[in-house]
Structure 1
Amino acid sequence: MAKATPKSTKKKRTNTKSKSAGTNTLTYIKAFWITFASGIFLVVLLFLFASWGFYGEMPKFEELENPQNDLATQIISSDGVQIGTFFKENRTPVSYDDLPQHLVDALVATEDARYYDHSGIDARGTLRAFIFLGSKGGASTISQQLSKQLFTGGSKNLWERIKQKLKEWVIATRLERQYTKNEIITMYLNKYDFLNQAIGISSASRIYFGKKPKELKVEEAAVLVGMLKNSSLFNPLRRPEMVQNRRNVVLNQMEKYGYLTEQERDSLKQLPLTLDYSPEGHSDGTATYFREYVRSWMADWVKNNPKGVNEEGETEYFDIYRDGLRINVTIDSRMQKYAEEATAQHMANLQKEFDKQEENNKTSPFRDITKDQLKGIINRSIKSSARRKKMLSQGKSEKEILASFDEKTEMKIFSWKGEIDTIMTPKDSILYYKKFLRSGLISMEPQTGHVKAWVGGVNYKHFQYDHVYQGARQVGSTFKPFVYATAIDQLKLSPCDTLPVSQITIPIGSHGVIENDWTPKNTSSDYSGYMSLKEALAKSVNTISARLMDKIGPEPIARLAKKTGVKSDILEVASIALGSVDLKLSEMVGAYSTFANQGIYTKPVMITSIEDKNGASLYQFVPETRDVISKEAAYVTVNLMEGVTQSGSGVRLRTGPSTRYSIKNVVTGHPYGFDNPIAGKTGTTQNQSDGWFMGMVPNLCTGVWVGGDDRSTHFKDTEFGQGATMALPIWALYMKKCYADKTLKVSKDAFKEPERLTIEVDCDEFKKKNVIEENIDDEFSL
């Protein structure tokens, strides 16, 4: 008989199975919590390792307090405009108050919508990025992006990227504790590299849109915010269509988060992408020649004005490329713009005429030279070229260097219609550039010495020689006012006094002439009669200048020029009367300003002050002035020079010839129609190598020079080769623009007359007095 299974056994098995299941569940729960806790612990440990610097050095508290950025040194014009920078990184910091609200809104809406709700790490965004592996967007907050830019940099592989992310998170939370939200946004926008030398929002606004950040429109701000994703990919100069699409994405985000209405968004999306690209390289922008002068001046200033002594006891010096200095200069950005426009307008037309005249010139662009002289010009240019210097530094032999100048190569060359990509030999490029006429202009306030405009050439990138400050050229008849001023100061002559026009011979040994007797000639063959000093200067009569020099000698004339700031050597010879000396344009303007400033020389000033990045003063200029000649002599000299623009070589400033179209009228640009008092003097040197015009109104003295790089590059005759045609039109175009801008307040008044004027300048009154004196003399003789 079979045995029955005990009930108790079955029950026991069931209980055993239940206990086993419970034990397993408990084990799973424990394992889960242990794993979870371990994960949390591991994450915390990873963050601790990052904060302890196990993955690489972490920034110290002081570095978080003061993150180090290379700051560009700014050059600020007298009217408050930044006209240039010196930089390793072209960064000009701005404050949060300088940012338009719609720029901030666009940034937050596009890069970090919950920016104001997190403390450096966006948990929701991080979880989303983890789950979807970044396919639905990243999780980097603005604070994380800033920490990456400031302290972590790029990554090469996955493990490096993970370590970098951990460091970013730690630094981001520290930044959030250290700075306000507004400060972090400002630091981020000041740090970001928008490419094309636009580092930071201030530089980007200027370079891409030609304005300050505060002036950005909504659609412009959207373009710059769109570039934050990848400034290389979304660059408006390279991929305008892609940038416009990216801009519209930013506008969509702004509408999504309530910063724009749907209607505003739609209307903004319809706008075209418009740029005002203004590159800020060292060869770009405005006042390039002046900025190079400032750079040279600052190099000397830095050497003589150390920043201080560091902890190691070493002397530290300012770095104009990194220390964010502010250089306040006298240049007026408006006047500088007008000067550059006037120069470009006239020189482009003048070059057309020059090229036309060179078509049948077998030695073009040179005249009156032999083949050997032509070879000499080319060889000198090769020896002084940057190409030769570079090849010498590379260990190349002279034979290899000379051979390279005959090898065709790709290059960009200058033209008045823009740069041209071409292929030519370096030797041919030398001849190509020699054909271009060069120019210089400098404009200065006589009373203050402040230089308001400085144009050293036609294009700094291609012609770096500065014809304002570096080049000394023969001044011709523009030196004659020094002869007249010396005679007036010593002999008390009146502009109405007359001298014979007849030829004069200065004997050997007299006034420094040691080789031959000197008999100067006039442009006119008529040597009969007498002429007043005023008419003689207006018509630039050489014989009368020579007579004045013979009466006073060359020494006091040279001495007067030196007192008015001329530093170049002046040979004290008889030919000084006709301007045989070589002087700089900057010297001439400083000297002429003495006459407009009632005989007081004021040293030209270019830099008024320097400040450090915090606004502390480092340098303040001190005016330098000295009395040179009497007020009376200065005024009479100015009166003489007014005759030049009333009836002499500068008369075309008033009316000029027919306005019907002709190439000459296009080049000279007249009539100009000035009706205010203007004192001036033209100058033309031998073979038309140099053309000058010095022009003054009571509160502005401006000098212009035009000529070839070599003296053998010149017009074939004086029709186009004289100062009145080459240089005067630039002065006139510049002054027209200055007068049209009423904010500049350039004077149209008469020159100030001294209170006690003993020399008669009114020739009608002068004649009356002479008649009376003659009658009195006749009565006494009877």
Structure 2
Amino acid sequence: MILFKRTLQFFIICTFLGLITLLSLYYYVKSDIPSVQVLKDVQLQTPMQVFSRDGLLINQFGEKRRIPVTIDEIPQPLIDALLATEDSRFYDHIGIDPIGIVRSALVLVSTGEKKQGASTITMQLARNFFLTREKAYIRKVKEIFIALHIENLLTKDEILALYLNKIELGNRAFGIGAAAQVYYGKELKELTLAQMAMLAGLPKAPSALNPIRNPERAKARRNVVLGRMLDEKHITRELYESTINEPITARFHGAEIELYAPYISEMVRAEMVERYGYERAYNTGFKVYTSVESDVQKAAQTAIVDNLHAYDMRHGYRGITQLLWDFEAQTALSHADIIDKLKSVKEIGPLLAAAVLSVDEKTATALLKNGEQVTLDWDGLKWARKYITRYRQSFPPKKVSDIFNPGAQIWLRKNKDNSYVLSQLPEASSALVSLDPNDGRIKAIVGGYSFEQSQYNRAVQAKRQVGSNIKPFIYSAALDSGYTLASILNDAPINQWDKSLGVAWRPKNSPAIYNGPIRIRRALAQSKNVISVRLLRGVGLQRTADHLLKFGFQNTDINRSESLALGSASITPIELARGMSAFANGGHLISPYFISEIQDFTGEVLFKTEPLLTCDAIENELFADQTLTTTQLNQHDQNNADIPALPRCAPRVISKQNAFLVADAMNSAIWGGGSWSHKTGWSGTGWRAQALDRRDLSGKTGTTNDSVDTWFSGFNRNVLTTVWVGFDNPGNPLGRSTYNNNLSSAQISGAESGAKTAQPAWVDFMRVALDGKPEAPIEPPEDLVSVRIDLATGLLSKKNDYTSRFEYFDKGTAPTKYVLQDVENIFEEDTKTEEELF
């Protein structure tokens, strides 16, 4: 009896002490127990994804790869595999597994070591979300309390879904959805039973059991999972036997990038970090839809790469990359040794590293790093005359051995017909910006030859002298000051003594051809330098500079000297494209944008771009003031609730008439004028754009001194594109190339210029961008008149022949006098005008 009482007292005391201990532990860990709100609103660390306008994935940024899935999207065999392996009593216990705890305790007592865990899936979830993986007793206590708390607040399916989306599975894959993509490049529903079992075995040790790094251990673990599924009667013996013999098929799959556009994706990444901070931008699952169109963006990248290679090839072959073996003194390396050496070579852009195995007179055999052996035909080699300087090339090769010999490591590019052409890494750089001039939407943007080679985005960061691309703005200032397209100026050399420098400034045309009295339309189309200087003097330097600032250029970039007329201002391609858009959209200054919409991880729209639009029709209907600002329009919206809200209108910076007249003169830069049959025909500097066979295009070339920077900008009403080509190191000339007798007569040769160096990329790009699009010319606005003028004098003409043409004039500026007598037409060029160097 006494023994019974003492035993009872002992149990009561132990129970009391146990309750006190549990209560003390609860209050000790209470601060670590998450609230209901935290558990209900758990935010998974999901990477930011960047898409094109048409929904193609461009890139994703984040420390963890994660593709959240719902419990309904997870195949039942995968759930069975995971539960059989990790927590077979998951749907029966209350968050902790007493049997597992007792088993773990027995192992601890018998060995003195914590060799075996007793964590349920709920406890693992508690640790993964709220604790560390440190093996400590207090952590285990916290796990238990948090697990009980979770079970009290969430359903079993909710717990399982959270676990499967949170768990780390190796190779930076977090969650079962991301793991399926990383290891197999599939969605969960596409996985085989063997693949599901493989993923279910990873939670135990994601690194050690990784099927990519340790396929043998991974296979053993996979078969353990299949064995547990068999024991739990989730699969039959026959299915088990057939599945355990399946090979390991896992390999690394990156994000399923559908549109490779690294420059625009980096622009988005930087903008998102600036808006939301690094942690939020990278880990909260933003979906960013850019403004670029996938097919147009691809065309832009192809045009830039192909054009840089074309420039590089006409200037000659700079030689092999390295000599892998001396074919005269050494035995050739084995294919395996060659491939090992090639694997250490970083391939850039479309360039493929190859080793020359053998050469014949007109062909060669080469080995690629993937083990493929290819034949190089003479058509892909004959361009490779030796590079001497940027101004000189050697004689064309006559046989392959004039170019390289066996043992040489070379670069190749693959043509569309699967043939290969000898290549090299271009030294020059380039950029392209294409946008919709009506709202500023960037359709395509390329910042260089290769983002892997250089992350410097020349489209938005490189301020380079614009050369004659400045002239449309100079002429716009002139038209705003009383000049007309029919005004006559003297195209003759200028000699001006500069007292401060003690020298004479002699701006010259390029080429140095002077036509005497010439109309402004033709002067702009043929990029006459001296006329641009005379116009600047006529308008006034300060007034011209002030006019240029209307187009959004920075004040510090517009130098106050007469060299401004020749393009000495330094402007980025995107700034130039923005300013040039005013001529395409009727005189408005739009704001380029590259992010159209931002969504959170649930798909809710957080931000949607509302671009400034060209609002001529609305302005004309409601307001007489054609210089109405955006601020005034917004105030109108706020103060007139009964009137529908107006679009946010881009401010007008020049009149519609001024914009049209400049654009129309730029159309002559492509299509020229005069009569070829009467030997008065002439070409503008942008005549190569005639290859597109569209009359709705306007354009302007641009080249700086010594061909350091070359440009071409061109547009119709809906698409405007600017291309720049030059060297990253300012001051390096692009040089000139001589005719290569091995190539066709269609090749480009002579001094590099905007028309030869930049315009070919513009033509190739616009061919795709405009494909299937109807012509969209710049329509003449109201308050313009069209009268027939005499080509020689710019006065009114009654003749209807090659000596006259219809010309547009702003109302009140047309000539009022007729030409009194026949004037000999002075325009007698019968060949295509050479491109300007300014």
Residue 758 (structure 2) aligned to one of 727, 731, 741:
727
For residues 636-675 of structure 1, what are the structure 2 equivalents within 5 Å? Answer: 636-646=661-671, 648-655=684-691, 675=694
* Equivalent position of 2:530 in the other structure: 543
* Change in 2 beyond 3 A, CA 1:54/1:601: closer
Q: Which has the larger radius of gyration?
A: 1
Letter in 2 for 1:503: A
* Change in 2 beyond 3 A, CA 1:249/1:770: farther
Residue 770 (structure 1) aligned to one of 783, 786, 797:
797
Residues 1:570 and 2:570 are matched in the alignment? no
Residues 1:483 and 2:462 are matched in the alignment? no
* Change in 2 beyond 3 A, CA 1:612/1:262: closer
Q: What displacement does 1:505 show?
A: 1.3
Name the CA distance, whole Å, in 1 between partners of 2:149 and 2:169. 26
Q: What displacement does 1:675 show?
A: 4.9
Name the CA distance, whole Å, in 1 between partners of 2:796 and 2:74. 72
Residues 1:526 and 2:513 are matched in the alignment? yes
Name the CA distance, whole Å, in 2 between partners of 1:681 and 1:291. 30
- Given that 1:78 and 1:333 are in contact with CA atoms closer than 8 Å, whether structure 2 keeps it comes out as yes
Letter in 2 for 1:715: L
Letter in 2 for 1:756: E
* Equivalent position of 2:126 in the other structure: 147
Residues 1:681 and 2:713 are matched in the alignment? no
For residues 229-308 of structure 1, what are the structure 2 equivalents within 5 Å? Answer: 229-235=204-210, 238-239=213-214, 257=234, 262=239, 269=246, 272-273=249-250, 275-278=252-255, 288-290=262-264, 292-294=266-268, 297=271
For residues 67-466 of structure 1, what are the structure 2 equivalents within 5 Å? Answer: 67=42, 78-80=53-55, 83=58, 89-90=63-64, 94=68, 96=70, 99-101=73-75, 107-108=82-83, 111-112=86-87, 114-121=89-96, 140-156=119-135, 160=136, 163-200=138-175, 225=200, 227-235=202-210, 238-239=213-214, 257=234, 262=239, 269=246, 272-273=249-250, 275-278=252-255, 288-290=262-264, 292-294=266-268, 297=271, 320-321=280-281, 324=284, 326=286, 328=288, 330-332=290-292, 334=294, 337-338=297-298, 341-342=301-302, 345-346=305-306, 349=309, 352-353=312-313, 356=316, 415-416=348-349, 436-460=427-451, 462-466=453-457
TM-score (norm 2): 0.62
- Cα distance per residue 1:188-207 (max 9 Å; x no partner): 24433445554455665676
Name the CA distance, whole Å, in 2 between partners of 1:260 and 1:732. 66
* Change in 2 beyond 3 A, CA 1:419/1:171: farther
* Equivalent position of 1:305 in the other structure: none
Q: What displacement does 1:634 show?
A: 1.9
* Change in 2 beyond 3 A, CA 1:42/1:682: farther
- Cα distance per residue 1:372-417 (max 9 Å; x no partner): xxxxxxxxxxxxxxxxxxxxxxxxxxxxxxxxxxxxxxx9978557
Letter in 2 for 1:639: D
Name the CA distance, whole Å, in 2 between partners of 1:504 and 1:472. 30
- Given that 1:446 and 1:700 are in contact with CA atoms closer than 8 Å, whether structure 2 keeps it comes out as yes
- Cα distance per residue 1:748-781 (max 9 Å; x no partner): 4222413537254999999997334999977999
Q: SS where residue 600 of structure 1 aligns?
A: coil
Name the CA distance, whole Å, in 1 between partners of 2:670 and 2:223. 59
- Greater Cα offset, 716-725 or 704-713: 716-725
TM-score (norm 1): 0.65
Q: SS where residue 694 of structure 1 aligns?
A: strand
- Given that 2:180 and 2:188 are in contact with CA atoms closer than 8 Å, whether structure 1 keeps it comes out as no
Letter in 1 for 2:550: K
- Given that 1:595 and 1:638 are in contact with CA atoms closer than 8 Å, whether structure 2 keeps it comes out as yes
Q: What displacement does 1:627 show?
A: 0.7
Q: SS where residue 151 of structure 2 aligns?
A: helix
Letter in 2 for 1:468: A
- Cα distance per residue 1:524-550 (max 9 Å; x no partner): 343246666555444433334334434
- Cα distance per residue 1:88-133 (max 9 Å; x no partner): x446673627945466566556644554444434567667778899
Structure 2 residues without counterparts, runs of 5 or longer: 321-343, 354-423, 613-649, 672-682, 738-748, 805-815, 823-838
Aligned length in residues: 646
**% identical aligned pairs:** 30
* Change in 2 beyond 3 A, CA 1:487/1:778: closer
Residue 461 (structure 2) aligned to one of 462, 470, 478:
470
- Given that 1:698 and 1:747 are in contact with CA atoms closer than 8 Å, whether structure 2 keeps it comes out as no
* Equivalent position of 2:826 in the other structure: none
* Change in 2 beyond 3 A, CA 1:47/1:629: same
Letter in 2 for 1:96: T
Residue 696 (structure 1) aligned to one of 693, 715, 724:
715
- Given that 2:711 and 2:754 are in contact with CA atoms closer than 8 Å, whether structure 1 keeps it comes out as yes
Q: What displacement does 1:591 show?
A: 0.8
Name the CA distance, whole Å, in 2 between partners of 1:319 and 1:514. 57
Residue 558 (structure 1) aligned to one of 545, 569, 575:
545
Letter in 1 for 2:302: A
Residues 1:596 and 2:622 are matched in the alignment? no
Structure 1 residues without counterparts, runs of 5 or longer: 1-22, 303-316, 361-410, 421-432, 656-672, 741-745
* Change in 2 beyond 3 A, CA 1:648/1:185: farther
Name the CA distance, whole Å, in 2 between partners of 1:135 and 1:81. 49
Name the CA distance, whole Å, in 2 between partners of 1:447 and 1:613. 32
Q: What displacement does 1:626 show?
A: 0.8
